[in-house]
Structure 1
Amino acid sequence: MKQIHLRVNEEIYNKIKNEVKIKKTTMQEYIIKTIGKDLTIKESPANYNVRPEKYKFKFIDLFAGIGGTRLGFESAGGKCVFTCEWDKYCQITYEKNFGDKPFGDIRLVDVKVIPPYDILVAGFPCQPFSLAGVSKKNSLGRPTGFLDKTQGTLFFEVARILKGYIDENTGETKKPKAFLLENVKNLVTHDKGRTFNIIKNTLNELGYKIFYKVIDAVDYVPQHRERIFIVGFNKEIYGKNIQFDFPEKPDIPEPTLKDILDDSVDAKYTLSDKLWNYLQEYAKKHKAKGNGFGYGLADINSHSRTLSARYHKDGSEILIPQKGKNPRKLTPRECARLMGFHDDFKIEVSNTQAYHQFGNSVVVPVIEAIAGQIVEVMDNERLNNNLRNNLQKVL
């Protein structure tokens, strides 16, 4: 990334400042976008390290978070050639673990400058569609789904990149062979299914055959966590009869919460008497009203509730019982394990940011399993094409 220092007179400065205020952006983003239009380019992606050295396919990682999806696709033999994530703290964690600082604003990404790749993966923002997100926005009288101007419409940025572009030299359409999108389960039912229908129709119109399924991560990690996964294949390459099956339940021992817990944990993770009393009274109040709201005291021989991005506030959805003491919160490292991250994954942000990041992340083993299925279909189709071509030569 190169830097340019500009000196402008007061009149130009005030005009830029006014435009930034109107467009609700930053000076840097406004200037990059404005200059980019004149030069018919946008900011170029960074050069990424070769990880791993040998790879079967290339992929790009959009709305990358801290890289859970990248880990899953690397395990399937992929090399990440471009990443986009605008949260500055997620960028820190991502760079610490992968050596790459993600591109920031997806709206400034020019599809023509993304390096050649095979698979697009994206966990586009889920707050406009999640049960918690919809409930909060409704209470504030704010729009949800595609009416949410700050996040909901970002799906169409993914669609813009999936659409690709026509190579001016060859006339060939440059677009990915396949994709994986991830979101909250509630996406399917949001706005009586209309939101999801828009997404499906958009992907179909772009020339992809799609498959989708809600998968509970409880078969992979000791956490009840349902997410929808949408897989698509380019019909120009694979035809409209391409078939895909999501992974079956893994043949592994049932994961339990005690498997991811540390033997010794700092006392600071134990709830104070004040907070523990508050959570108990809060639960009693809602139980009397017939509501199910309240803390979750976990069974360490089973699985936990869903880890959320708000876990840092009080840890109430997953509390670990302690003999003779108040229950405690999970540590950030335990949260990482609950999401399927190995212990060599670096956590160098504050506990508050770490909780937020893991609560928003994907479950890595689920991504690994789906990535493996996608790559298997692509490999099989490649082998079938080679066989057909060789047969034609013989005949």
Structure 2
Amino acid sequence: MIRTGKRSDSAFTLLEFFAGSGLVAYALKKYFRTVWANDIDEKKAAVYIANHGNSHFLTADIQTISGVDLPTADLSWASFPCQDLSLAGQTAGINGARSGMVWEWLRILDEMSVMPPLLVAENVEGLVSAEGGNHYRVLHEALRSRGYKIGAVMLDAAYWIPQSRPRIFVIAIKNDMELPTELVSNGPTWMHTKSIAKVADSVQDWVWWNMPEPAVRQETLSDIVEWDAPCDDEVARQRNISLIAPNHLERFISDRVSAAPGYKRTRNGKQVLELRFDGIAGCLRTPKGGSSRQYLVLNCDGELKTRLLTIRETARLMGAPESYKLPGSYNDGYKAMGDAVAVPVAEYLAKHLLSKLALVASRNSQGGTELDVERTPRVVTAI
């Protein structure tokens, strides 16, 4: 049995940067109480405040924030902008105008009187795969130089919910912490891609984080569809169906698929609606253009219908509860979900790794008073 430092019965504390619509705060609330959160986007901030209140939320440019003004905390989480690291974007890299905001996060932590012992940085797969992993190496060294040991894992939301959404989670803990053996492995696990393994071989103070592999997901796309939602009119329906490749349309009908998602793409100078047939949606994105919005083709008692995903469907695809409020326009809600972290992914990470690492850090700071690391912190019903 692993023993760690004694804590009070309150949850651990969290600082969240680039907090967006608040799904991380919701996912972590059983284990971490958010004491401060920030985002620059006023529309996403409206979603956050509608669900979590405004007592600890600051709507501001991160470049205007000073670390001396922040409360101490056990964990600092940063889902920093992905545009410059996305393989579909400009790939300006980790020093780009958007993704480079990660350095503001580190600047603020440097300015705090006590840096959090535990850090998480979340981003797209390009963080470890683009340019041979060089972007990740720069971030890894920046964390290592601040006294942390670090490891990265890839968690795909498809393990838990019917959406393909692979994301990289960089997890760092102060390098003087002695880690329980069950929280680390001797090499790659189900969470480590070839790109991660490659960068691991080229950096110092690397940690192979370990968590149990989740059970096989049972839910499919059909289970989250709002079947009574309005569909396209006849003109738009026929137009959308005409964009589906003949082999895709034939498969949809012959396999009696109930619901298939798709994105509009330009192939060989021609617009097409590409479907997928694995029972999960494609990765949600921010709705900047028609190609970023995901369509559904539905079989309604033998009649093919088409429409965009509803906002509630996007929330379900992110694992948000039915009660989660999404104020604003359709695009506001789509952006709030498409630019967020899936709830069950963050919750799984908190339950199986982050809360246990926070207990390890607590033992270190409190002189090693015994407490079982398996203890679950008190559930916090509101933040």
How high is the TM-score relative to the length of structure 1? Answer: 0.71
Distance, in Å, in 2 between the alignment partners of 1:318 and 1:376 is 40
* 1:162 counterpart = 2:109: yes
Distance, in Å, in 1 between the alignment partners of 2:234 and 2:210 is 40
Tell me the CA shift for residue 367 of structure 1: 0.2
CA 1:270 to 1:298, structure 2 compared with 1: closer, same or farther past 3 Å?
farther
Distance, in Å, in 2 between the alignment partners of 1:152 and 1:385 is 33
* 1:342 counterpart = 2:318: no
* 1:368 counterpart = 2:322: no
Q: Deviations over 1:316-337 (max 9, x none)?
A: 6442323423322211001100
SS, match of residue 310 in structure 1: coil
Query: Which of the pair has more CA radius of gyration?
Result: 1
Q: Deviations over 1:314-370 (max 9, x none)?
A: 676442323423322211001100001000000111001111221111111000011
Tell me the CA shift for residue 133 of structure 1: 1.3
Verify the 8 A CA contact 2:67 2:110 in the aligned structure 1. Answer: no
* 1:113 counterpart = 2:91: no
Tell me the CA shift for residue 268 of structure 1: 5.0
SS, match of residue 233 in structure 1: strand
Higher relative contact order, chain-length normalized (CA < 8 Å, sep 6+): 2
Paired amino acid for 1:260: I
Q: 1:63 aligns with which of 13, 18, 21?
A: 18
Residue 130 of structure 1: aligned partner: 86
CA 1:241 to 1:158, structure 2 compared with 1: closer, same or farther past 3 Å?
farther
Identity value in percent: 25
Q: 2:280 aligns with which of 294, 303, 315?
A: 303
Distance, in Å, in 1 between the alignment partners of 2:355 and 2:137 is 27
Gaps of 5+ in 1: 1-53, 138-143, 167-173, 391-395
* 1:356 counterpart = 2:335: yes
CA RMSD of superposed structures (Å): 3.1
Verify the 8 A CA contact 1:124 1:182 in the aligned structure 2. Answer: yes
369-378 vs 82-91, greater mean Cα deviation: 369-378
Residue 226 of structure 1: aligned partner: 166
Residue 104 of structure 1: aligned partner: 60
Residue 226 of structure 2: aligned partner: 262
CA 1:255 to 1:311, structure 2 compared with 1: closer, same or farther past 3 Å?
farther
Residue 196 of structure 1: aligned partner: 136
* 1:81 counterpart = 2:35: yes
Verify the 8 A CA contact 2:286 2:292 in the aligned structure 1. Answer: no
Q: Deviations over 1:366-390 (max 9, x none)?
A: 0001112111233256468879568
Considering fraction of residues, name the structure with more strand. 2
Q: Deviations over 1:44-76 (max 9, x none)?
A: xxxxxxxxxx73211111001101111121132
Paired amino acid for 2:275: L
Distance, in Å, in 2 between the alignment partners of 1:258 and 1:381 is 43
Verify the 8 A CA contact 1:130 1:184 in the aligned structure 2. Answer: yes
SS, match of residue 302 in structure 1: coil
* 1:145 counterpart = 2:93: yes
353-362 vs 96-105, greater mean Cα deviation: 96-105
Q: Deviations over 1:275-323 (max 9, x none)?
A: 516744897972x69x9x9534354x72121111138736764423234
CA 1:303 to 1:277, structure 2 compared with 1: closer, same or farther past 3 Å?
closer
Distance, in Å, in 1 between the alignment partners of 2:12 and 2:126 is 31
Paired amino acid for 2:229: V
Paired amino acid for 2:358: M
Residue 72 of structure 1: aligned partner: 27
Q: 2:46 aligns with which of 81, 92, 116?
A: 92
SS, match of residue 117 in structure 1: coil
Q: 2:120 aligns with which of 180, 189, 201?
A: 180
Distance, in Å, in 2 between the alignment partners of 1:125 and 1:203 is 18
